[in-house]
Chains A and B, each alone.
Chain A
Amino acid sequence: MNRRIYGLETEFGIIWTPDTPGKKTLTVQNVVMYLFREIVAGRMYPDVFLENGARFYQDIGCHPEYATPECDDVAELVAHDKAGERIITRLASTAERRMRNDGFYGKISIFKNNLDTPGNTYGCHENYLMERHVDFRQLASQLIPFFVTRQVFAGAGKIKPSHRGYYAISQRADHIREEISIGTTTARGIINTRDEPHADREKYRRLHVIVGDSNMSEFSTFLKVGTTGIILRMIEDNFIQQRFALRNPVKAIREISDDITCKHPIELQNGKRFSAVELQWQYLECAKRYLEQAESDSTTTQIMARWEYILTCLESDPMQLDRELDWVIKWKWLQTYLGKRGFEWDAPQVKHLDLKYHNVRQEESLYYTLEKRAEVERIVKDEQIRHAEHFPPERTRAKFRGKFIKKVNEGKILCGVNWSYIQLYEPYQILYLSTDPFKPEFDEASRTIYSI
């Protein structure tokens, strides 16, 4: 599949803190209710589609979740993922004003990470539309070693107590318990088997990936999704001939996460031992051979160049990537800060700063403080993100949905919306099912809707 639908779902962590310490606080549930109030007026449940085609809703565990619209380009996906951060930030400002009117003076913090202080986890799920014909066992066996090792560039970094080695590459690695599983709240797997394509089931399946971290770095998101897309193309075309099967993938994902030098060797079923970076080189070399004979485009070329650059740096010294990769950027600035300010690694200020890296409210965020000072590499421009806040992607089904939602919001139609359908309630009940996510227009529905 040369052209693919990509989507990212991000569950945010959220907390409200009163301006006066010790004052009565609001529960997470209350804060989330305030957050949604602006956009769910009159609805039973906080779950809405937005004019940019995205879905914003309350997920399991009271997490606000932003699901990007269907994108067919990875850079565009990065812009839409960032647009989600900006939208939730705006909602937080409005919510704070409403709270003050109700007598609650304080601040909402919103974190795009995957862990709270006691170690509860919440996810960032990647979605890839795939060709249905691929044998699932083969898909899983070729993807597992890739997912276990890609954390060396996709990890978001996590502080550990000093007696346990200070720092780990991935936030999610310790929460992965199975190789393959359907569970998303317990017994999470490297491969998740949820398969709701929101499209023609005969042609497509959906690959729902729950093993990865949430990324602040545009570069990490771009590479995480981009390389995975290329691997999927090779699997669909039955191109990968090497056997990378690991002896114990669940153990390996933790061991790799625990070694910030990226040198730790993991054992394959055939007895060979490779580091995560060496295994990634094998996938990259395979992708190069694949693209010598398959169609490419400018985004693919950029993904390949960055992938190679990252692996080259990881091989010599991962700490060189302190402008590109979340886990390295955060490590560098935690180290610099605590060194200059004389804090011990176990000090609450360090843990606090770790959280602040992931705060999506820019004035409260370590990541955005660095971005503002050009200390991190970007993939998209601010204009592209601003555009994505209001407009859907042009080449996918999201375009029609976005246009439709705009009409709904103007109060002109009463309806229900989901990824693959639009249900009209008035003037007559009719359901428009859309099974082709690559089709930006929906003529039949348009004719009815725009004649109302």
Chain B
Amino acid sequence: MSTEKQQEHLKHPVDETEDMQPDVGASEMDEEFVEDLDTLLDEIDEILEEDSQEFVENYIQRGGQ
């Protein structure tokens, strides 16, 4: 199995955005980023749609190992 795996790039993705795609203007990229982030935050809103206070208070388990 391990041999099938791609050797992942070990460089941090933030570093790679610096010189990416010279034909795209910086502001255009920023816009895209903000839009993506907004969609993601909306998705997070959706997974939190039930009553947080009640959910958190009710989450009680017995101790395990």
Give A contacts to B, CB under 8 Å. 11, 13-15, 17, 21, 25, 28, 59-63, 73-76, 79, 116-118, 120-123, 125, 184-185, 210, 297-299, 302, 305-306, 309, 313, 320, 323, 333, 336-337, 340-341, 347-349, 351-353, 355-356, 359, 363-366, 369-370, 373, 375, 377, 379-380, 384
Beta-carbon nearest neighbor of B8 in chain A:
A377
Q: Check B50 for interface membership: any CB of A closer than 8 A.
A: yes
Q: Decide: A185 and B5 in contact? CB cutoff 8 A.
A: no
Q: Check B41 for interface membership: any CB of A closer than 8 A.
A: yes
**Which residues between 9 and 50 of chain B lie within 8 Å of chain A, taking CB atoms?**
10, 12-14, 36-37, 40-41, 43-45, 47-48, 50
Q: A21-B54, A75-B2, A377-B8 are in contact. Are A59 and B48 (CB under 8 A)?
A: no
Q: Decide: B48 and A353 in contact? CB cutoff 8 A.
A: yes
Q: Decide: B5 and A11 in contact? CB cutoff 8 A.
A: no
**Could you say which residues of chain B place their CB within 8 Å of the CB of A366?**
44, 47
**Could you say which residues of chain B place their CB within 8 Å of the CB of A184?**
65
Q: A356-B47, A356-B48, A364-B47 are in contact. Are A73 and B2 (CB under 8 A)?
A: yes
Q: Decide: B3 and A352 in contact? CB cutoff 8 A.
A: no
Q: Decide: A353 and B61 in contact? CB cutoff 8 A.
A: no
**Alpha-carbon distance A123/B61, docked complex (angstroms):** 12
Q: Decide: A340 and B13 in contact? CB cutoff 8 A.
A: no
12 A-B residue pairings within 8 Å (CB atoms):
A15-B61, A61-B65, A75-B2, A75-B5, A120-B63, A298-B2, A302-B2, A333-B44, A351-B52, A355-B56, A356-B48, A379-B5
CB distance from B37 to the nearest CB of A (A): 8
CB distance from B47 to the nearest CB of A (A): 5
* Cross-chain pair count, CB within 8 angstroms: 134
Does more than half of chain B's interface fall in helix, strand or loop, or is it mixed? helix
Q: Decide: B59 and A13 in contact? CB cutoff 8 A.
A: yes
Q: Decide: A355 and B59 in contact? CB cutoff 8 A.
A: yes
Partner among B47, B54, B59, B63 whose Cβ is within 8 Å of the Cβ of A369: B47
Partner among B12, B43, B61, B65 whose Cβ is within 8 Å of the Cβ of A185: B65
**Could you say which residues of chain B place their CB within 8 Å of the CB of A63?**
61-62, 64
CB distance from B10 to the nearest CB of A (A): 5
CB distance from B42 to the nearest CB of A (A): 10
**Could you say which residues of chain A place their CB within 8 Å of the CB of B62?**
28, 60-63, 120
Q: Decide: B63 and A61 in contact? CB cutoff 8 A.
A: yes
Q: Decide: A120 and B61 in contact? CB cutoff 8 A.
A: yes
- How many chain B residues touch A (CB < 8 A): the figure is 35
**Could you say which residues of chain A place their CB within 8 Å of the CB of B51?**
21
**Could you say which residues of chain A place their CB within 8 Å of the CB of B12?**
313, 320, 323
Beta-carbon nearest neighbor of A393 in chain B:
B1
Known contacts A13-B61, A364-B47; can you find 13 more A-B pairs with CB under 8 A? A75-B5, A79-B1, A116-B61, A120-B62, A298-B3, A299-B2, A305-B10, A348-B52, A352-B55, A356-B48, A369-B40, A373-B36, A379-B5
Beta-carbon nearest neighbor of B7 in chain A:
A302
Q: Decide: B65 and A297 in contact? CB cutoff 8 A.
A: no
CB distance from A369 to the nearest CB of B (A): 5
**Alpha-carbon distance A59/B36, docked complex (angstroms):** 41
Q: Decide: B2 and A351 in contact? CB cutoff 8 A.
A: no
**Could you say which residues of chain A place their CB within 8 Å of the CB of B65?**
11, 59-61, 122-123, 125, 184-185, 210
Q: Decide: B52 and A75 in contact? CB cutoff 8 A.
A: no
**Could you say which residues of chain A place their CB within 8 Å of the CB of B59?**
13, 15, 116-117, 355
Beta-carbon nearest neighbor of B51 in chain A:
A21
**Could you say which residues of chain A place their CB within 8 Å of the CB of B44?**
333, 337, 353, 366, 369
Q: Decide: B64 and A61 in contact? CB cutoff 8 A.
A: yes
**Alpha-carbon distance A159/B62, docked complex (angstroms):** 20
CB distance from A322 to the nearest CB of B (A): 9
**Could you say which residues of chain B place their CB within 8 Å of the CB of A74?**
2
Q: Decide: B61 and A369 in contact? CB cutoff 8 A.
A: no
Q: Decide: A116 and B60 in contact? CB cutoff 8 A.
A: yes
**Could you say which residues of chain B place their CB within 8 Å of the CB of A355?**
55-56, 59
**Could you say which residues of chain B place their CB within 8 Å of the CB of A302?**
2, 5, 7-8
Q: Decide: B64 and A352 in contact? CB cutoff 8 A.
A: no
Beta-carbon nearest neighbor of A119 in chain B:
B63
**Alpha-carbon distance A140/B15, docked complex (angstroms):** 40
CB distance from B52 to the nearest CB of A (A): 4
**Could you say which residues of chain B place their CB within 8 Å of the CB of A17?**
50, 55, 58
CB distance from B59 to the nearest CB of A (A): 5
**Could you say which residues of chain A place their CB within 8 Å of the CB of B5?**
75, 302, 379-380
**Could you say which residues of chain A place their CB within 8 Å of the CB of B45?**
341
**Alpha-carbon distance A323/B43, docked complex (angstroms):** 18
Q: A13-B61, A15-B59, A120-B61 are in contact. Are A297 and B47 (CB under 8 A)?
A: no
**Alpha-carbon distance A265/B21, docked complex (angstroms):** 43
CB distance from A55 to the nearest CB of B (A): 14
